[in-house]
Amino acid sequence: MAKVKVSSIPKQERMELVGDLFDIVYGLKTKTDTIDFLIGLLTPSESLMLARRIQVAKQLIEGKTYDEIRKNMKVSYNTINGIEHWMNARDNAYRRVLANWMKRKNQRIRKKEGRADKYEYTGLLDKYPQHRFLKRLLGL
């Protein structure tokens, strides 16, 4: 599909078109449905572009400087500045959404790591609870 200049489409039509898109995405029931829909809708380049913007926003939330982000992501200062303005819009609503997402993601990672540690056996004495008790009792 050819690129379209935003200004060439009347504002009312733009609002209707974008509103329909958001209604569809909002109405999707599962994460799988959402992923399938967006993968089908967006080109790989568009998906990557959106994902990279989120990564820039994530680094801004983490307190990285514009120089660090520019070097890490190979983006311009204007891009970083635009993303920061977007994050600060609407009383920092987008910043809060991203910060909450990062918090949930970190919790899932820690939970997954905790499970892996809990069930990771290093030897026969770690396999069963009573063996682990003996191992601790003997100081092994």
pLDDT per residue as tens, the chain (140 positions): 678 888 899 999 999 999 999 999 999 999 999 999 999 999 999 999 999 999 999 999 999 999 999 999 999 999 999 999 999 988 888 989 999 999 998 888 888 777 655 555 556 656 666 666 666 666 66
Alpha carbons 4 and 18: distance in angstroms, whole number: 14
Give the global pTM.
0.68
| 112 token code pair | 């997954």
pLDDT recorded at residue 13? 95
Alpha carbons 34 and 120: distance in angstroms, whole number: 34
Question: Cα dihedral angle (6, 15, 49, 53), rounded to 10 degrees?
Answer: 110
